[in-house]
Amino acid sequence: MIIITLSLTPSTFIKMNILWKYDKLIHFFEYLILGFLLLNCFSPTDYFPKLIIFILIVTFIISGIDEFIIQKFFSKTRNPDTFDWLIDLFGSSSGVFIRYLLRNFLS
């Protein structure tokens, strides 16, 4: 919900000139957190390849909906960007990978 809310927030409301240089980092970290938390919803004993692939597909769909549908049709001040979407995918994959690596430490 936070990601969608931020996507719907007009860029005039946010100080875009200050945040613009950090745009890719913001995309990366918000989806890193999403991937991490989605995998964290399951027990480490359930971390099978099918579950990980399912979570990656879910995060890819969420980021695609956010970037290409919400920003295109529901936001007048935002533009969809393929590179932002690729950063989202890299961030969510990184979050899933980090949670997978920490499965024994955080259980």
Angstrom distance (rounded) from CA 92 to CA 33: 7
Share of the chain above pLDDT 70, in %: 85
Structure confidence by residue, pLDDT tens digits, 53-85: 999 999 999 999 988 888 777 777 777 889 999
Residue 32 lies in a domain: yes
pLDDT at 45 over 70: yes
Residue 106 lies in a domain: no
Element (H, E) at 61: helix 49-64
| Backbone conformation region of residue 13, classed left if phi is above 0, alpha if psi is from -120 to 50, else beta | alpha
pLDDT the model gives residue 74: 77
Range of the domain at 25: 2-101
**φ, ψ at 7 (rounded to 5°):** -70, -30
pLDDT the model gives residue 1: 79
Look at the chain and report how many structural domains it folds into: 1
Residue 49 lies in a domain: yes
CB 88 within 8 A of CB 67: yes
pLDDT the model gives residue 81: 86
Residue 79 lies in a domain: yes
